[in-house]
Amino acid sequence: MNRTELKAEVEQRWPGQAQCRFDSASAMCEVTCARAALAELCARLFLEWNFSFAGLIVEEHPEQWQLRYCFYGEREAGWVHVLIKAPLAERTFPSIVKFVHAADWHEREAEDLFGLKFEGHPQLGDFILHDDAWQESVEPMRRQFDPHAAMVHRKPDADWRPRRVVQEPGAFVMPIGPKYSGVTESVHFLLETVGEDVIRSTPRLFYKWRGIEKLAEGKTVDEVLLLAERFAATTAFAHGLAFCQAVETICGATIPARAGTLRVFLAELERLRQHAGAIQEICESTALVVANSQAGILEEDLLRISGELTGHRYLFGMLAPGGLLSDQPSDACRKALAQSQQVLKQLNTLERALRVSSSFLDRLEEVGFVALKNANAYGLLGPVARASGLVRDLRRAQPYSGYENFDFEVPSEQEGDGYARLRVLFAEARQSVRIMEQAATALQNGSVREPLRLGAGAALGWVEAPRGGAFHWVRLDESGRVTRYRIVPPSYANWHGFHLAVEKFAFQDFPIMLSTFDLSVAENDR
Amino acid sequence: MSQWVIKGIRTGIKTTAYPTQAETGAGVSPGLPMAGDFPAGEIAALMARCPTGVFSARDGRIIVDHRLCVHCYRCVRGVTRPVGWQQTYEWGTVRDGQHEFGQPFHRSIHVIVVDAGDCGACLNEVKQLNNPYYNMHRLGFFITPSPRHADVLLVVGPVTDHMRFALEKVYDAMPTPKRVIAVGACAVSGGVFAESFVCSKGVAAVLPVDVEVPGHPPPPLAILHGLLVAVGRKPPSPPVSASSGMEISAAR
């Protein structure tokens, strides 16, 4: 469906209730709609017209609420932002969860942080602000909330109990975390069981919530870039890039060709390194010691390649709005490419060895199964979605930074089990090196940074981060300061769908399913 | 399964010679800005460029407080007069008080790692200590999941409100004698998250910290140095205080 068809369809179906406006600069169609039409319009986009849900962005303007539901389709379908507006006194909105299950956590978050109510949402409450530690009335993302005022923190309530769902005789909850196992991110799992199998799994997240979105308000673009790079640093470059692209769209800036190509090169180097890390985690979770060591060597090799090329092992301090903070000599890029090709060769050897290790395959095959229809409903992203046959990659669907000029494949599998996810990781690593090869030969001459003229406006930046699509919404005021910053990281969607993989499997498979999902808590918790 | 045995043997030894010898591989450390002489007219501009206040001036020289550096490279990239840069990694420093464990702990230390709001990078670098390049086991350091078995509490992240209670519980559950290592700029000073209304300004706001390892994230070798400092097998870097800052000569 292209935009003209979309406009005709929308205006014919909801006459007087929905107006379309095209914005050619940001490839976006803004549909302002009445409350009554919201749920049905979102349902059509998501369920019938094959749009993916990118996120709900709540903005509190001086006089009104503005709720923005972002959807994107393949290429010419572009972006559709569904907007509803309401006076500030209005606090209740219709829920779209019944049709767009992917919006579930977005509405819970808006309820928790803005105090909005969503009519028809099955489960609001205890989410980002844990009920056992926060007063109900605190709404930290509201304008009137002063983040610099002294906060009175309640001591966690020891008598607080999570909601239990399984009510069979003998059912109990196995709590895991937030501190568990060796070197792991902090997250709490409530695994409900009657014995051997996990019947229901509820991750309790946001132990690491740092309030990045509130922290960003009132800061300059340069200061917020520091936060964008540092809130989830294993994929720092991807998130920094999404933020820079949002700012560049607001300013109407085009970045120099050399900067665009270098951005692609570094983004793919990061993907390669992150995938090697994910593969190492999978080997570790299956206790295959030599493979674990081999993958660990390759991850460290790639960290060192990144460090040698850019000075920082996680690619900090490379990006700037308008291009790159510093140039990289083409020779250095070619050297990094040659080293990465060596690593890829060894990754391929590792994959061949893993594919014939029966004890390893036994633990991955038909474990942590996610069906395509569930992946669709939950709007899963990245390698996890592509392993279940949901093939949508932002580098293809809505190209940025010149990705349309690169020749690469989007690997996918159909099985949706742990092994399929592992194969997708290996295949994507190969594609990353393929893109790096093209980028290294295509490197243009010239500067890497154009000065920006910051002005008022708002825009969405998006990238295909190693773990999936990342969306950054930025609004600037006239002085170029950030007034609203909203991050929708890929792990947010994938954590939402993680319970699909775990349920009806035995406890001993739990760490394996966790590792094959390659989830980042830091990304999710923001 | 014999393929794995052969593969393992063929790979040979990857492990660094550190701490016996210096590690010279490329890309093992992001480095830190260096104190030293700086044109007097440009010091103010340099201090303004740094988002976390690493630099201060004394007698026409710049003083560097490494604890605050978040590796944004604003002081070296895209500027006409970059500051000096050192590719070191022995960054472990000691907070006030006694820090050595004494003889019984010299060879076997169990470390519990708590993520108190870290961005993933520090934790990933801690994880690298178990890969063949660093192999912390050879030095007698072991990761334990249980606070009851732990001698050292290694904390990453600025300590978010939701994690404060869990962190205190871990510390209380550890037997004495025990030591706390704050790893990374966030754990040391709160880093870029220090201003947040849901973060502490580092671990020291919650627990008594013995050893600090700056860096954002500190590379694995720096964390290893921090552990060696905690057990008294390596001397700490010169002590820092937020007011005077740390000076390191270019030769180091």
Same domain? For A192 and A220 the reply is no
Confidence class of residue A484 from pLDDT cuts 50, 70 and 90?
very high
- Of A136, A429, A392, the closest CA to residue A301 belongs to A429
Percent of chain B beyond pLDDT 70?
90
d(CA B160, CA B157): 8
User: What average pLDDT score do residues A162-166 get?
Assistant: 82
pLDDT at A152: 64
Rounded to a whole number of angstroms, the distance from the CA of B43 to the nearest CA of chain A is 20
- Cβ distance A226 to B70 less than 8 Å, yes or no, reads yes
Q: Does a structural domain hold residue A166?
A: no
Res A156 pLDDT > 80: no
Model's pTM, two decimal places? Answer: 0.92
Q: State whether A327 and A363 are in the same domain.
A: yes
Res A489: pLDDT = 94
Please state, in angstroms and rounded to a whole number, the distance separating the CA atoms of residues B51 and B192.
9
Which residues of chain B lie closer than 8 angstroms to A148, CB-CB? 195, 197
pLDDT score of B123:
92
Of A424, A296, A173, A60, residue with least CA distance to B132: A296
- pLDDT for res A252: 86
What pLDDT score does B83 carry? 86
pLDDT tier for residue A275 given thresholds of 50, 70 and 90: very high
pLDDT at B100 over 80: no
The 10 Å Cβ neighbour count of residue A377 is 18
Q: Encoding tokens for residue A44?
A: 């059509």
Identity of the highest mean pLDDT range in A12-16, A21-25, A307-311: A307-311
Query: Which residues 95-114 in chain B show a CB within 8 A of chain A?
Result: 112-114
The residue from A96, A119, A142 where one domain ends is: A119
Amino acid B249: pLDDT: 34
> Which of A54, A72, A81, A69 lies closest to A397 in space, CA to CA?
A72
Q: What is the model's pLDDT at position B247?
A: 41
Question: Which residue in B has a C-alpha nearest to residue A354's C-alpha?
Answer: B4
Nearest to A123 by CA among A109, A142, A113: A109
* pLDDT mean over A464-479: 93
Structural domain that includes position A189: 172-204
Q: Which residues pair with A314 in a beta bridge?
A: none
pLDDT of residue B141: 92
Tokens of A207: 């132990």
CA distance A519 to chain B (A): 11
Structure tokens belonging to residue A307: 């460090």
End-to-end CA distance of chain A: 35
Identify the architecture of domain B93-230 in CATH.
3-Layer(aba) Sandwich (3.40)
Report pLDDT for A239: 95
Residue A72 sits in a domain of what CATH number? 3.30.460.80
The token pair that represents A467 in the structure block: 């773990």
pLDDT of residue A150: 65
Nearest CA in chain B to A519: B120
For residues B142-150, give the mean pLDDT.
92
Phi, psi of B235 (to 5 degrees): -70, 145
Could you tell me which residues are beta bridge partners of residue B61? B37, B58
Question: For the CA atoms of chain A, what is the radius of gyration?
Answer: 23
Q: Into how many domains does chain A fold?
A: 3
Question: Do residues A329 and A240 share a domain?
Answer: yes
**Does residue A477 sit in the same domain as residue A500?**
yes
- Cβ–Cβ < 8 Å for A230, B216: yes
Whether A325 and A443 share a structural domain: yes
For chain B, the average pLDDT equals 84
Q: Can you give the pLDDT at residue B252?
A: 28
* Percent of chain A whose predicted confidence (pLDDT) is above 70: 99
Q: Is the pLDDT of residue A237 over 80?
A: yes
Same domain, A305 and A192: no
Q: Does residue B242 contact residue B214 with C-beta atoms inside 8 Å?
A: no
> Mean per-residue pLDDT for A5-18?
82
pLDDT average, residue stretch A42-56: 90
Long-range contacts of A17-25 (CB under 8 A, 24+ apart): A25/A249, A25/A252
Q: Which chain B residues have a beta carbon less than 8 Å from that of A223?
A: 51
Asked if residue A423 has pLDDT above 90, the reply is: yes
pLDDT at A128 over 90: no
Q: Which CATH topology does B32-86 take?
A: Alpha-Beta Plaits (3.30.70)
Per-residue pLDDT at B248 exceeds 50: no
pLDDT at B242: 36
Distances from the Cα of A213 to the Cαs of A12, A146, A482, B193, B215, in angstroms? 38, 13, 10, 11, 24
Does A296 score more than 90 pLDDT?
yes
Q: Per the CB < 8 Å rule, is B162 touching A183?
A: no
**For testing the chain B interface, which of A131, A159, A208, A229 should be mutated: the one with the most B CBs within 10 Å?**
A208
Same domain, A331 and A359: yes
Q: Are residues A394 and A477 in the same domain?
A: yes
Residue A130, in any domain of the structure: no
**Does any domain span residue A249?**
yes
CA-to-CA separations, A153 to A135, A304, A324, B162, B178, in angstroms, rounded: 9, 42, 41, 10, 28
SS3 A220: strand
Which amino acid would we find at residue B43? I
Q: What is the enclosing helix (H) or strand (E) of B173? A: helix B161-173
Asked whether the beta carbons of B129 and B220 are under 8 A apart, the reply is yes
Q: Which of A19-28, B151-160, B209-218 has the lowest mean pLDDT?
A: A19-28
Contact flag B11-A297 (C-beta cutoff 8 Å): yes
Q: Are both A180 and A240 inside the same structural domain? A: no
Confidence of residue A483 (pLDDT cuts 50, 70, 90): very high
Across A332-346, average pLDDT: 93
Provide the residue ranges of all domains of chain B, joining segments of one domain with +.
32-86, 93-230
Q: Return the structure tokens found at B80.
A: 């006409």
* Residue A460 forms part of a structural domain: yes
What is the pLDDT of chain A when averaged over all its residues?
89
Q: CATH no. for residue A403?
A: 1.10.645.10
- Residue B203: closest CA among B223, B189, B222: B189
How confident is the model at residue A153, as a pLDDT? Answer: 66
CA–CA distance from A399 to each of A175, A404, A461, B214 (Å)?
42, 6, 11, 38
The verdict on B38 touching A (C-beta cutoff 8 Å) is no
Tell me if A137 is assigned to some domain: no
- The closest alpha carbon to A273, from A251, A248, A301, A245, belongs to A301
The share of chain A scoring above pLDDT 90, in percent, equals 49
Cβ atoms of A307 and A232 within 8 Å: the answer is no
Place B57 in a pLDDT band, splitting at 50, 70 and 90.
confident
DSSP string, B27-72: TS---EE--EE--GGGHHHHHHH-TT--EEEETTEEEE-GGG----
Q: Which of these three, A76, A95, A119, is where a domain ends?
A: A119
Q: How far is A40 from chain B (nearest CA, A)?
A: 38
Domain contains A165: no
Q: Are residues A200 and A322 in the same domain?
A: no
Determine the Cα angle at A194 with ends A190 and A197, to 5°: 75
**Is residue A303 scored above 90 in pLDDT?**
yes
Q: How confident is the model at residue A143 (pLDDT cuts 50, 70, 90)?
A: confident
- The Cα A342–Cα A336 span in angstroms is 10
Contact B127, A183 (CB under 8 A): yes
pLDDT at B77: 87
Give the minimum alpha-carbon distance from B213 to chain A in angstroms, rounded to a whole number: 17
Tokens, residue A403: 């990705």
A505: left (phi over 0), alpha (psi -120 to 50) or beta: beta
User: What mean pLDDT comes out for the span B101-129?
Assistant: 86
The reply to whether A101 and A177 lie within a common domain is: no
Residue B54: band (very low, low, confident or very high) from pLDDT cuts 50, 70, 90: confident
Q: Do A187 and A259 belong to one domain? A: no
Residue A149 lies in a domain: no
Under DSSP, is residue A194 helix (H, G, I), strand (E, B) or coil?
coil
Extract the runs of DSSP E, i.e. beta strands, from chain B: 32-33, 36-37, 55-58, 61-64, 85-86, 93-94, 109-115, 141-143, 152-156, 179-183, 211-213
- Is A133 among the domain residues? no
